[in-house]
Amino acid sequence: MKQIHDADNSGLSMVEVVLLGNAQDGGRPQPGCNKPCCIGLSPNDYRYPTSLGIIDQEQLHIIDASRHLGSQLQLLENRIPDEIWITHAHFGHIDGLGLFGRETINAKGIILHVSKRMEGIIRETPHWRLMLEQGVFSISEISDKATISNAGFTITPILVPHRGELSDMHAFVIRGQHKSLLYLPDHDTWKETLKLHETTSIRQWLKELEVDIALLDGTFWSHNELQSRSQNVVPHPPIKETINLLGYKQQGDPDILFFHLNHTNPVFDEWSEEHTTVVEMGWKIAKQGQRFIL
């Protein structure tokens, strides 16, 4: 492993990426929800929190570790990851780390890629600090736009604004031999994200990132979806706003798939008007277990 500034994909073998979940942190059904969106679901309608598996020759990497890790690893032949990449400190993205300890997997020597702020949280939390001392994890620090090269792919952290009360938030761009993919489960607003990266539109930003596939934050369909909470408590750009900013898919656009779906999001229903609107504009709703070759 080494830090590089200019990614060179020559000689990289193809890697397979598996979407291990497409739901928001609480999954679907969400604990405590007694609404029709969660009551009476069949097991086929259950969805795990967002996580991504990257199969790189003999190694396995995952991005984000949820509490449903045991079930999600079944999508990867129950293999234990060699390396884990964490986007940020919110539960749903990190609470699965404890499953690698002595009480469950009893793993050793997993490389944990986190930001400096996230590392501080891990070292200050007794359970995770103990796992470091026991050799379950070793930490590798990530930073904005510092590309890391692996045997079959490169990965670049991309800083984005998202509720920084605990840690910063990094999206990831994964580049294989033939294609590249953006993993962006959370951010606050397009206005803030685009301003941070000095771009004026979603399309321009994705073009500058040079990605072929973009998994974008689709937590909510619209701003009035959560009637019981202030939207300021859980800021995310709703799908309706994103597709209005994008318009219809144009030639040369990446494939955009929305994921990190809150249990209330109507696009879970493939027959809904909202899901149909997304598809008719040329975009997609990501599916749990979906695979991509990069």
Q: Give the side-chain half-sphere CA count within 13 A for 23.
A: 23
Q: Which of 22-31, 82-91, 230-239 has the lowest mean pLDDT?
A: 230-239
**The pLDDT of residue 176 is above 60:** yes
Confidence of residue 90 (pLDDT cuts 50, 70, 90): confident
Q: In this predicted structure, what is the pLDDT of residue 231? A: 46
Give dist(CA 213, CA 180) in Å, integer. Answer: 6
pLDDT bucket at 3, cuts 50 / 70 / 90: very low
Please report the pLDDT score of residue 166 as a whole number: 79
Using DSSP's 3-state secondary structure scheme, residue 28 falls into strand
Percent of the chain clearing pLDDT 90 (strictly above): 83
φ/ψ bin of 129: left (φ > 0), alpha (ψ from -120 to 50), beta (otherwise): alpha
Identify which has the larger pLDDT, 10 or 64: 64
pLDDT beyond 50 at 232: no
Give the pLDDT band (50/70/90) at residue 225.
confident
Q: Please, which pLDDT band fits residue 216 given cuts at 50, 70 and 90?
A: very high
User: Which residues are within 8 A (CB) of 135 and not within 5 positions of it... i.e. 6 or more apart?
Assistant: 108, 109
What is the number of alpha carbons within 13 Å of residue 106 lying toward its C-beta? Answer: 2
For residue 228, what pLDDT is reported? 57
**pLDDT tens-digit readout, 139-172:** 999 999 999 998 889 999 999 998 767 789 999 9
Q: Which amino acid is at 181?
A: L
Q: How confident is the model at residue 1 (pLDDT cuts 50, 70, 90)?
A: very low
Q: Are residues 177 and 12 in contact, defined by beta-carbon separation less than 8 angstroms?
A: yes
Q: In this structure, which amino acid lies at residue 280?
A: E
- Secondary structure element (H or E) that encloses residue 118, with its range: helix 116-124
> What is the pairing mode between strands 16-21 and 291-293?
antiparallel
Rounded CA separation 237/217 (Å): 7
Q: Which of helix, strand or coil describes residue 142?
A: strand
SS3 of residue 155 by DSSP: strand
Nearest in space to 85 (alpha carbons), one of 10, 198, 220, 185: 185
Give the chain's end-to-end CA distance (angstroms, integer). 19
Mean pLDDT, the chain, rounded, equals 91
Q: Are 249 and 11 in contact (CB under 8 A)?
A: no
CATH topology classification for 13-293: Metallo-beta-lactamase; Chain A (3.60.15)
Predicted confidence (pLDDT) per residue in 6-27, tens digit? 444 455 568 999 999 999 999 9
Q: Is residue 282 left, alpha or beta, with left meaning phi > 0 and alpha meaning psi from -120 to 50?
A: left
Q: How many angstroms separate the CA atoms of 68 and 47, rounded?
A: 10
Span of 76-90, 146-160, 161-175, 279-293 with lowest mean pLDDT: 161-175
Q: What are phi and psi of 142, to 5 degrees?
A: -110, 155
Pair of tokens at residue 179? 């294609």
Query: What pLDDT sits at residue 167?
Result: 86
Q: Angle CA(97)–CA(100)–CA(103) in degrees, nearest 5?
A: 115
pLDDT tops 90 at residue 121: yes
Q: Which amino acid is it at 115?
A: S
